Amino acid sequence: VTNGFQINLITLNNAFCKFLSSYGAFTVLSVLIINWFLLFDRFAISSRSARIRSLSSKKIARVVVFSVLFVIFCLVALPSAIIFEKMPMDTNVTYICSTKSRKFLLFGALFYFPIVEGILPIVLTIFFWLLTRKQVRNLCNEQFVRHFDRQLTRMYLFQILANAIASVPYATINLYRSITFQTVRSPDKENIVEFFRLMAIWLFYVQYCTDFYIYITISKDVRVEVLKLLCSCPRLSSDRFTAMQSMHLPSSQSLKTASR
């Protein structure tokens, strides 16, 4: 965001460059993988197999998520903090945060950005949608199956569309910046590239806030439950306040006894 206001914080501190690279790589990959776990969880809770359904538990989720986050930190965040540094981009002493490792840049340009951040999220969403739909259609209640299948199909189609709109621009602009790393652009062209990069980052992160709104838009059942929950919140707060008052205020009998 600071680059959008022409404030290049990377030129101020090399440590900030390392932190930015490490933190960015860690958070982006963590969000992607946790979202894939959510896709698997939807499939697991709809499975007819007790063994697969048992995988959808809070205890297993905590162990798996924290283990994966630790692995990402060791394999991605730490190497990024080590190899990335503040380095001059051209003769005008314009600094960027990058690495001299050609292999690392090629890995990002040819595999990570186009595959992990671009194609894989969409493919996994479609894959788990097909698996979940197959599990739902194996249920005996035909009326429930038709109703749930329509909602499930619409929900996943909107999620696939949201993933495509968010992931493809982000992967494309990062792929372009990796390929044209040594290309010297004019300030105007660099500002245009930076503008599209910031917009792509915004879309990429916003997509993980859209699931809730997709659910309440597509599913009438979810919408009704959300409205019930929102309407019950003031009543619950009032009941809790009344209960607290009754606990702290002395009863009339106690007051009479105290007055005597």
Q: Would you kindly state where each structural domain of the chain is located, as residue ranges? A: 1-100, 107-240
Cβ neighbours for 94, distance < 8 A, ≥ 6 positions apart: 88
- Convert the pLDDT of each residue in 48-67 to its tens digit: 777 888 888 888 888 988 99
CA distance 39 to 115: 18
Q: Tokens 């993933």 appear where? A: 163
Percent of the chain surpassing pLDDT 70: 75
pLDDT at position 256, please? Answer: 47
Any idea what DSSP says for residue 88? E
Q: How many CA atoms lie within 13 A of 158 on its CB side?
A: 16
Any idea what DSSP says for residue 249? S
Run of H or E including 51: helix 50-53
CA distance 185 to 47: 53
Mean pLDDT (the chain, rounded): 75
pLDDT at position 252, please? Answer: 47
- Convert the pLDDT of each residue in 98-152 to its tens digit: 788 878 877 877 788 778 877 888 888 888 878 877 776 666 555 555 666 677 6
Any idea what DSSP says for residue 208? G
pLDDT at position 74, please? Answer: 92
pLDDT at position 11, please? Answer: 61
pLDDT at position 220, please? Answer: 74
Run of H or E including 98: strand 95-98
**Selected residue with higher pLDDT from 112 and 77:** 77
pLDDT at position 160, please? Answer: 76
CA distance 139 to 14: 58
Instruction: Taking residues 187-196, report their average pLDDT.
Output: 78
